[in-house]
A and B are shown apart, each in its own frame.
Chain A
Amino acid sequence: MKTTPDRKASSFMTRTRKLGLVVLAAAVCFGPPAALAQTQIYDARTKKWVNYDKKKARQYYARNNQLPEAFRRQVVPFRTAEKPGTIIIDGNQHFLYLVQPGGQAIRYGIGVGREGFGWAGIVRVGRTAEWPTWTPPPEMVARDPNAAKWAAGMPGGPDNPLGARALYLYEGDQDTIYRIHGTVEPWTIGLDVSSGCIRMNNDDVTDLHSRIEVGAKVIVLMQGAALYKGV
Chain B
Amino acid sequence: MRSKSLVLAAGIGLAFLGGCQSAPPKPEEMARTSLQTAPADLQLICANAAAGTAQVDSSKVLPTSSRQLDATSYSVDLDAGGRKFNCIVDTNGSVKSVQPVA
Residues on A lying within 8 angstroms of B by beta carbon are 38-42, 44, 47, 49, 52, 68-71, 74, 76, 78-82, 88, 90, 92-95, 97, 105, 120-122, 190, 217, 219, 221, 223-225, 228, 231
Contacts and interface: CB of A to CB of B under 8 A. Distances in A.
Contact of B31 (A68, A82, A97): A68
A42 B31 contact: yes
A42 B29 CA distance: 9
Contacts of A224: 65
Contacts of A93: 31-33, 37, 39-40
Contacts of A97: 40-41
Given A38-B33, A97-B40, A231 B27 contact: no
Contacts of A92: 33, 35, 37
Contacts of A82: 44
Contacts of B15: none
18 contacts: A40-B31, A42-B29, A47-B24, A49-B32, A52-B31, A68-B31, A69-B28, A78-B40, A78-B41, A79-B45, A81-B48, A90-B37, A93-B31, A120-B64, A121-B62, A219-B62, A221-B63, A228-B79
Interface string B78-96: 0101000000000001000
Interface of B: 21, 24-25, 27-35, 37, 39-45, 48, 58-66, 79, 81, 93
A41 B63 CA distance: 25
A70 B45 contact: no
Given A221-B63, A228-B62, 18 more contacts: A38-B34, A38-B35, A41-B31, A42-B25, A44-B24, A70-B29, A70-B30, A71-B31, A80-B41, A81-B44, A90-B40, A93-B32, A93-B39, A94-B33, A95-B40, A105-B41, A224-B65, A231-B59
Contacts of A94: 31, 33
Contacts of A70: 27-31
A209 to B, nearest CB: 21
A217 B62 CA distance: 13
Given A40-B33, A95-B40, A219-B44, A79 B93 contact: yes
